[in-house]
Chains A and B, each alone.
Chain A
Amino acid sequence: MHEFPQRAIVARARAFGLLLGIGIALGCSAPESPAARHAKEPDSLKRGKGLFVGTCGAYCHGLQPGNRDAPYLFDCEWKHGSSDQEIFDVIRAGVPQTRMQGFADRLPEGDEDIWRLVAFLKSRSSC
């Protein structure tokens, strides 16, 4: 009869647990949002503001709060999700049946510019 030594079981369980932790850390932990990266760069934030002011902020989303049909975007109230990725997705794809057009690849530096917009929105928000 083959006996399974208790020490071996403990050792294997420890190895399993260690590998599970490593797996989560290496394979599955959420990487830093590109918006968070841009938020650390003053030039990126400046460009994000320039893009917002130039494309989003005149007759749609304002710099001042108010009763507009396009939401004020600096009060931390997000209609379509507050994560960086969700905000990115709204800017990229738009919101059907509203005046919010998707910007897709229209910005000069593509997705990076959208992430800069997300970074600017988050940085100026006051909750």
Chain B
Amino acid sequence: MTGWRARWMFSVVCTLASAIACDRESATPSAGPTADSAAAATEDGNASPTEAPSMIELLADLPALPTHWVADPPVAADAPPVDDAMLRSPFADPSRWLHYGGDYRGYRHSPIRSLNPKSVSKLQVAWAMPTGTQQQFEVSPIVYGGVMYVSSSYNRLFALDAKTGELLWRYDHPQPADLRACCGPVNRGVAIAGNSILMATLDARLVALDRRSGALLWNREIIEYGRGYSATSAPFVVGKRAIIGVAGGEYGIRGFFDAYDVDTGERLWRHYTIPAAGEPGVETWAGRSYETGGAPAWSQGAYDPETDTLFWTTGNPAPDFNGDERAGDNLFSNSLLAVDPATGLRKWHFQFTPHDVWDFDGNTQIYLVDVEIDEQKIPVVAQANRNGYFYLIDRRDGKFLRATQYVEQMNWATIDADGRPVVGPDVWPTEEPSHRVCPGNMGGMNGAWSGSFDPARGLAFIPAIEACQHFVKGIAVYSEGAPFLAGTPDTIDAAARKAYGHVSAIDVATGEIRWRAEDRFPMMAGAVSTAGGVVFTGNLEGEALALDADTGKVLWRFRMGGGVRSQPIVFELGGRPYLAIGSGSWATTDAFLAGLDKIPEGGHLFVFTLPES
């Protein structure tokens, strides 16, 4: 063969061989008809008239389900607008529950006495309601004017008759498909002010709806969610300001919390939790690490009307588990901040866990308590921190007073006289860790649920996790909107089914643990207590629980189905007491923290009451 003939022959053979060999590799199973091929089935793209339409095609012809029902005529229209006096004294009328934290002090403690150790065994279901959504149902409902306002995962908001459960109006916030929610599509509740119900959303917006009709009043973007932001907590109303912080500590955001005018949605101020270049505190971040330093503000604060001071807490620095590029204390991550609510300017701060590499967000619930120390009455902020210590901080100036261990297993650090952790040598994340670190990254206590404080008994009731972990260090890769953790907790206790939980009754004045009520699995639901001497909470096995406030003895339990992650509340209507508590958890966190694998899914709200006497 001549040269060109040989080359032509080789080319033909190779092409043929390619067709044979490569076609075999590309022959993947069909994923079904493409849009083009389906449209080509008939000229007009519809099903052939000779073929009966399939069920899917019939369903496709139905109109889209509505996502917003309004009440017409309006409901609870005779109830006056919620004013400042009501918000300052929310339990003056026991038919109300107006704040996530129960009151401005964050006590979640009701003056209701009819729910007591003698009565709670008689609790019965008054009504129940499915949310139609999956994953964590973490709500703390609001009750006002005989209406209960309940938000579920994915920001569905329901207005329900608090006595009968009748659905009055509903708003499903439209969500984009690419949310940046590290830890589930959570919402922990709404706020009420005037005639508005305020809800923060997973796509980092704040919306206001008319409490009487459900009509949308305004819808304001907090920040672009695609940069790694979301908002999951209930807004906190002080006067005419709705205060809301952002989540996103796992995405390398720059954290902040904002105040918005409740009537207009106008932003009044923004408090960044990480200083900018040139500002005090930026020297606690190596290089330019402050630009992606996290420090979210995703939980609730408290308010002291006497000193007109707002207290807010912050979360972990980013990346979570590798601090090499952010040497320093990383202010103001994991901190308690005292702020002027009119301006958002900081008065003082206290940092719980400087240079955190264990994801110990400092944002668990805070209680404004007056305690007697050395025969002096001192106004304090009390907190069961995620790092396993129960803190007392002087709320006049941020001075550290005391930290006591409230978890059973603790080895990450001791706390020195100034409140600074003295970190153990073996607890830092490494590439191949072998040291079991306690508590694990979710605590202890966690900002995703609440505790309560009984002022008569001086006891804080704290649901908590007992689970230790290996902390694995990874490579830090920042890309806007992508996870930025640089490591992972290896959940060894959960995998070995060694994780468990408890509610601890902590004497706030002394730090002493008065009693512990243990549970087989981590306790990750909130708490509410009553003047009658009962603490309500729930467990991951789906039980609502009533505990004796003096002893921790379980007085009543009711299996609701899904694991309990909600914040129970109590209220009174027509002389009868009611308990509202939601069930519904998220397989990911249950597996992560407890090693659970049999998890009923779906949110469900239960409301219990006592029989008519």
Contacts and interface: CB of A to CB of B under 8 A. Distances in A.
A25 to B, nearest CB: 9
A103 B482 contact: yes
A21 to B, nearest CB: 8
Interface in B459-507: 472-477, 479, 481-492, 494-495
B320 interface: yes
A50 interface: yes
Interface string A27-61: 11110000000000000001101111111111110
B591 interface: yes
Interface stretch (B46-54, B116-124, B595-603): B595-603
Contacts of B431: 46, 49-50, 53
Contacts of A60: 483
A84 B339 CA distance: 53
Contacts of A62: 488, 491, 591-592
B479 A54 contact: no
A69 B591 CA distance: 10
A22 B135 CA distance: 57
A66 B592 contact: yes
A19 B14 CA distance: 8
Contacts of B177: 96-97
Q: How large is the interface on B (under 10, 10 to 19, 20 to 34, 35 or more residues)?
A: 35 or more
Nearest to B9: A19
A13 interface: no
Contacts of B479: 103, 106
A56 B483 CA distance: 8
B542 interface: no
B182 to A, nearest CB: 5
A13 to B, nearest CB: 12
B125 interface: no
B16 interface: yes
Contacts of B443: none
A29 B177 CA distance: 40
Question: For B16, B483, B586, which residue has the most chain A Cβ atoms within 10 angstroms?
Answer: B483
A27 B18 CA distance: 7
Contacts of B595: 66
B477 A20 contact: no
A20 B16 contact: yes
B14 A28 contact: yes
B13 A20 contact: yes
A101 B178 contact: yes
Contacts of B592: 59, 62, 66, 68
A108 interface: yes
Contact of A24 (B21, B179, B319, B596): B21
Contacts of A50: 431, 473-475
Contacts of A78: none
Nearest to A107: B477
Contacts of A54: 319, 321-322, 474-477, 485-488
Contact of A67 (B474, B486, B596): B596
Given A19-B13, A27-B17, A66-B495, A59 B485 contact: yes
B250 interface: yes
Contact of A58 (B14, B488, B586): B488
Contacts of B246: none
Nearest to A101: B482
Nearest to A51: B475
What is the predominant secondary structure among interface residues of chain A facing chain B? loop
Contacts of B590: 67
B491 A58 contact: no
A40 B94 CA distance: 69
A46 B432 CA distance: 11
Given A28-B17, A103-B482, A67 B477 contact: no
A6 interface: no
Interface string B135-173: 100000000000000000000000000000000000000
Given A24-B21, A54-B485, A97-B177, A70 B588 contact: yes
Contacts of A55: 474-475, 477, 482-486
Contacts of B482: 55, 101, 103, 106
Interface in A62-84: 62-70
A61 to B, nearest CB: 9
Nearest to A113: B477
Contact of B489 (A28, A56, A58, A69): A58
A24 B17 contact: yes
A5 to B, nearest CB: 16
B269 to A, nearest CB: 31
Contacts of B588: 59, 67-70
A64 B496 CA distance: 10
Interface in B575-598: 586-588, 590-592, 595-597
B484 to A, nearest CB: 8
Interface in B9-25: 9-10, 13-14, 16-18, 20-22, 25
Nearest to B495: A64
A51 B477 contact: yes
Contact of B250 (A49, A59, A65): A59
A53 B14 contact: no
A58 B13 contact: no
A28 B21 contact: yes
B183 interface: yes
Contacts of A27: 14, 17-18
Contacts of B490: 63-64
Interface in B268-326: 319-322
A53 B592 CA distance: 15
Contacts of A67: 587-588, 590-591, 596-597, 599
A23 B25 CA distance: 16
Contact of A108 (B17, B183, B474, B477): B477
A23 B481 CA distance: 46
Contacts of B477: 51, 54-55, 106-108
Interface string B1-35: 00000000110011011101110010000000000
A16 B22 contact: no
Given A63-B488, A103-B482, 15 more contacts: A16-B9, A23-B14, A24-B17, A26-B14, A46-B431, A51-B475, A52-B474, A54-B319, A54-B474, A55-B482, A57-B472, A58-B487, A58-B489, A69-B588, A99-B181
9 contacts: A28-B22, A51-B474, A51-B475, A59-B182, A67-B591, A68-B592, A69-B587, A69-B588, A108-B477
Interface of A: 16, 19-20, 22-24, 26-30, 46-47, 49-60, 62-70, 96-97, 99, 101, 103, 106-108
* CB-CB nearest 6 A-B residue pairs: A54-B474, A66-B591, A53-B474, A106-B479, A23-B14, A50-B475
